[in-house]
Amino acid sequence: MNLKSYLLDDDRGVSPVIGVILMVAITVILAAVIATFVMNMGPSEEQTPTASWDFDEGTNSLTIKHDGGSAVQANELKVVAKSSSGGSEEVYFDDASGVTGSWLSSTSEYGSSDQIEAADTYTIVDSSGSLSGNGAKMSTSSTGGDPGQFSDIEEVQIVWESAEEDKSDVLATWEA
């Protein structure tokens, strides 16, 4: 046996070293993937706001109050009034809707950064047979006809629609 050729030509020592390096690399990558799922470091899904709402029915009016919990972005909220005839009206609180009067926090249109917070209120009023909210007629978007007078309303919903995802949820419902 030639010692010189044995030392220079033998590759058996390389194989275990490469195997160990590959195993360590695979273990590190696997640990990183598992840690991402365990620690919830992946992309987060927008959560529905956890807010409490109170409804106060008056004569020909309904006042909706944010009663506590998380603030809600104004551009992600709408009030939907549904009538017994199947019609509904929606009011959006953002620049595009043209709704003024708002939730008593300002007298101008809501912007995309405005929030509806605890103690803010919104009132739906029957004025001359036409529904309005804080002075703004509820006619931004209607389906199946105008709900008409307050006495025709069977249900009012506060609906949250995510501005970033295709996701919505009913936050509160009032029924006549």
Res. 51: pLDDT tops 50: yes
Q: What pLDDT shows up at residue 11?
A: 59
d(CA 131, CA 120): 20
pLDDT digits (tens, 9 = 90+) for 72-126: 887 788 777 777 776 666 665 543 333 333 443 444 445 556 778 888 777 776 6
Considering the domain boundaries, does residue 98 fall inside one?
yes
Whether 91 and 157 share a structural domain: yes
Beta-sheet strands, E only, within the chain? 51-58, 61-69, 72-73, 77-83, 88-92, 115-116, 121-127, 130-133, 136-137, 141-143, 153-161, 168-175
Segment 14-21 mean pLDDT = 79
Most confident segment among 2-6, 71-75, 92-96, 145-149: 71-75
Res. 58: pLDDT tops 70: yes
Whether 91 and 129 share a structural domain: yes
Whether 164 and 80 share a structural domain: yes
Whether 99 and 166 share a structural domain: yes
The percentage of residues in the chain with a pLDDT greater than 70, rounded to a whole number, is 57
* Range of the structural domain that residue 11 is part of: 3-38
Considering the domain boundaries, does residue 69 fall inside one?
yes
User: What is the tally of structural domains in the chain?
Assistant: 2
Q: What pLDDT shows up at residue 27?
A: 97
